[in-house]
Amino acid sequence: MHTHARGFSMIGLLVTMVCIIILFTIGMNAMNQAITGGGSAVSGTVRSVQDEMYLRGIYTGLITAGNDMRDARLPVASLIAQSDDLSLNTTANFYSSLIATNYLSTDILISANEYSPFVERMVGYDFHAHQIRGGVPWDTAFEANLERTSHVSFAHMPHFGERYRRGWLANFDRRSVLIGNRGPKDGVDDPNSYTYGRSGVWGGHIVFGDGSITFTDTFTLPGVTFTKDGTTYADNLYAMEDGPSGADAILSFVREMTPSGPTLQHD
């Protein structure tokens, strides 16, 4: 009786290799999410730490600009333009004015956990634009439109009202909320928002006036409150609860600034 040795066919070998590659890819993606955060802000991940570094760089630029301008107030676009035109104080102009004056770099304006397809780093910023006479002293091609194109990820305090007068100061006040990761519209839970990232869970960093940075996965931080009509409330950092001229903390994008207050934008 004869016995025949059985070996792997070429097709069987190829199928095995494909299975190994698929399993390897799944494993690497899982490891990437665990280590880096996988496109969603998670405390302690590489990308989360990177965001913290970016935000610290932005804060340092703000403080440096305020010191150089010898003004008690932190810089805004209208101050850099030496203008009384408050309509200049939009998000796009705010960041572009700081880039033009070399206080910020386009490299640190995009979150390491950015998930929106409309947010991308600006390439080819025109540093000569601020020398044009009769115009604004920065590159107006820099955009901050979350529905079309934005060259920045991070939200900031709108430069209007009592919150601006009290909090946008170089006074190292722990109670002032200056900049941070974006949140959903009006601070209402919305997993469809691009601010939630791939995991469907929101998290972000908040920078205070004293330079301290806190990671949070809730819209109301402990100890952050505002008072209205004699009553103290927990402060939702992504809702304008005290009105356009109020004193509550809020982080957002400002699409347009009008005499009655900012037109906010969320995604």
Splitting the chain (267 residues) into consecutive groups of 10 residues, what average pLDDT does each group show? 50 49 40 45 82 95 89 88 92 97 95 92 88 72 97 97 91 85 95 87 93 94 88 94 93 96 95
- The per-residue DSSP string of 104-148 comes to --GGGSS-TT---TTB----S--TTGGG-TTS-SS-TT--B-TTS
Q: Tell me if 122 is assigned to some domain.
A: yes
Question: Which pLDDT score, from 0 to 100, does residue 39 have?
Answer: 59
Range of the domain at 88: 40-265
Give pairs for 75-80: CB < 8 Å, separation 24+. 75/103, 76/159, 76/168, 77/136, 77/138, 77/159, 78/159, 80/137, 80/138
> What was the pLDDT predicted at 48?
87
Per the domain annotation, does 259 fall within a domain? yes
| Residue-level pLDDT at 130 | 64
Residues 211 and 56: beta-carbon distance below 8 Å: yes
Q: How many domains does the chain fold into?
A: 1
Nearest to 250 by CA among 131, 161, 124: 161
Query: Is 48 among the domain residues?
Result: yes
208 is a domain residue: yes
pLDDT at 20: 52
pLDDT score recorded for residue 21 = 40
Q: Is residue 7 part of a domain?
A: no
Quote the pLDDT of residue 35. 40
Residue 76 lies in a domain: yes
Does 227 map to a domain?
yes
What pLDDT score was predicted for residue 10?
54
Domain assignment present for 179: yes
